[in-house]
A and B are shown apart, each in its own frame.
Chain A
């Protein structure tokens, strides 16, 4: 647990982690951002919260008032 470790051990852990991370492969944002935007555009058509749901299909629409016959 982090609380039980001495400062030196915490630093060593952080150092080893950083050494690993520096070696990670990275892609430029121009590529990844474009792919994020493309993914959204491909799926936004089916996103009910974005395009809205017709009231008769919306399960959360309040039903009309009570009708007493």
Chain B
């Protein structure tokens, strides 16, 4: 019974080796490493001795255990002689074995298979629209399923809904916090979700009445213990998936605000997430500051696959349109493609001349092109199969922070710290 649901209040328990059971009964004048704030004194629920008790929760039930029983219980999952060192060694052995298994299947490179594919022609993509109106850095944007509306959020707390064809602003909301790092359009087009330094994800229903105060109808859905880095509606307006600086991702019911599933596995801030295309099932991928990209099963909360080949924070992850692969963009100035069925990285998109991190990536409709927005103000367009760069787009005057291809693939939109969004086609 190594119960992960144990919450320990104000205790100091020594890490590593087992402590002598007499530690709790220290001479009154001394504070040893077993000193803790005891809320009650009485019979322990486990060993029945009368001692200072810690109020803890086991399987969500409150119980009172003495410190000795708490420590015994925390160590129960471990075999004798299981120390940090042995665990680490076992971990390293498994990692090597995993790499060996993966390497066995590495019989050919993606670009070799792609040699028979026709080369791409010259690309002429330019800025067709510039959306001006944010007063500060644009941090995130999302397309509406109607292929023309866009929601964007910025550092100054503003969330704006635009019509990309006409560049008109349709709605504007000011959030109570700054650095709104995440925003998403609901599949129905009737609501937007956003959040950031407020640690929450809030949903605003969009009304047709332009004069209506959107802020009044705001609904707080998600609560994390650190900043919200990304959010996305699932297939309906009813559920939202969030990722946070607290290292977790979570699935929420919009109507009740209830936590439906939480996803633990990252050992640092989670910066991005993307849902699998609906045909391929209930999974999503997340990337974090621990350099890992994890693929999760939404129903069970389990991490199915994990990839750790980037050399720095992963800022953006995006599924390949077929659902069999995903791309990632990282502060290590590379974008990479991971094949889910081969369970490994199959391509790296990098150049020696690119030294700034990639903040945001997205595929074109067929998956032939990968667009990457970088911190050196440019957008690089990559041939996914051949691994070469086909185009470099200039225009933004500060780092590109967000990039999404429109739902019908006719254009893509980039948002930047230069306060603008650009539509390219």
Contacts of B246 in A (CB 8 A): 1-3
Contact A50-B366, Cβ < 8 Å, known A12-B77, A32-B339: yes
Nearest Cβ distance between residue A41 and chain B, in whole angstroms? 6
| B165 located at the interface, meaning its Cβ lies under 8 Å from any Cβ of chain A in the complex | yes
Q: A37 to B110: give the CA distance in the assembly, Å.
A: 9
| A69 located at the interface, meaning its Cβ lies under 8 Å from any Cβ of chain B in the complex | no
Contact status B102-A50, CB under 8 Å = no
Q: Which of B349-372 contact A (CB under 8 A)?
A: 364-369
Contacts of B125 in A (CB 8 A): 49
Contact A21-B341, Cβ < 8 Å, known A36-B324, A53-B410: no
Find the B residue at minimum CB distance from A27: B341
Contact status B113-A33, CB under 8 Å = yes
Contact A43-B367, Cβ < 8 Å, known A22-B101, A27-B341: yes
Find the A residue at minimum CB distance from B86: A11
Q: A44 to B419: give the CA distance in the assembly, Å.
A: 33
Contact status B303-A2, CB under 8 Å = no
Contact status B15-A6, CB under 8 Å = yes
Contact status B320-A30, CB under 8 Å = no
Nearest Cβ distance between residue B382 and chain A, in whole angstroms? 13
Q: Which of B203-211, B212-220, B262-270 lies at the binding interface?
A: B262-270
| B97 located at the interface, meaning its Cβ lies under 8 Å from any Cβ of chain A in the complex | yes
Contact A40-B341, Cβ < 8 Å, known A19-B94, A48-B409: no
Nearest Cβ distance between residue B38 and chain A, in whole angstroms? 21
Contact A26-B102, Cβ < 8 Å, known A33-B113, A37-B385, A50-B364: yes
Contact status A1-B247, CB under 8 Å = yes
What does DSSP make chain B's interface, helix, strand, loop or mixed? loop
Contact status A12-B225, CB under 8 Å = no
Which among B4, B108, B248, B321 has the greatest number of chain A C-beta atoms within 10 A? B108
Contact status A33-B365, CB under 8 Å = no
Nearest Cβ distance between residue B355 and chain A, in whole angstroms? 27
Contacts of A2 in B (CB 8 A): 246-248, 264, 266-268
| B425 located at the interface, meaning its Cβ lies under 8 Å from any Cβ of chain A in the complex | yes
| B98 located at the interface, meaning its Cβ lies under 8 Å from any Cβ of chain A in the complex | yes
Partner of A37, one of B2, B4, B113, B302: B113
Q: A19 to B98: give the CA distance in the assembly, Å.
A: 9
Nearest Cβ distance between residue B288 and chain A, in whole angstroms? 9
Contacts of A62 in B (CB 8 A): 128
Q: Which of B314-349 contact A (CB under 8 A)?
A: 320-322, 324-325, 339, 341-344, 346
Q: A10 to B267: give the CA distance in the assembly, Å.
A: 8
Q: Which of A11-52 contact B (CB under 8 A)?
A: 11-15, 17-22, 24, 26-37, 39-41, 43-50
Find the B residue at minimum CB distance from A48: B410
What does DSSP make chain A's interface, helix, strand, loop or mixed? helix
Nearest Cβ distance between residue B242 and chain A, in whole angstroms? 14
Q: A63 to B142: give the CA distance in the assembly, Å.
A: 25
Contact A11-B113, Cβ < 8 Å, known A1-B246, A28-B342, A36-B385: no
Q: A21 to B247: give the CA distance in the assembly, Å.
A: 20
Partner of A47, one of B341, B346, B365: B365
Chain B residues within 8 Å of A, Cβ to Cβ: 2, 4, 15-16, 77-78, 84, 87-88, 90-91, 94-95, 97-98, 101-102, 105-110, 113-114, 116-117, 120, 125, 128-129, 148, 164-165, 225, 246-248, 264-268, 302-306, 320-322, 324-325, 339, 341-344, 346, 364-369, 384-385, 405, 408-412, 423, 425
Supply 22 A–B pairs (Cβ within 8 Å), ascending by A: A1-B225, A2-B268, A3-B247, A8-B78, A11-B84, A18-B94, A22-B98, A27-B341, A29-B109, A29-B113, A29-B339, A32-B346, A33-B110, A36-B324, A37-B113, A43-B365, A46-B365, A46-B366, A49-B365, A49-B369, A49-B409, A53-B410
Q: Which 7 pairs, one residue from A and one from B, show the smallest C-beta to C-beta distance?
A: A2-B247, A60-B128, A43-B366, A47-B366, A18-B94, A33-B113, A28-B105
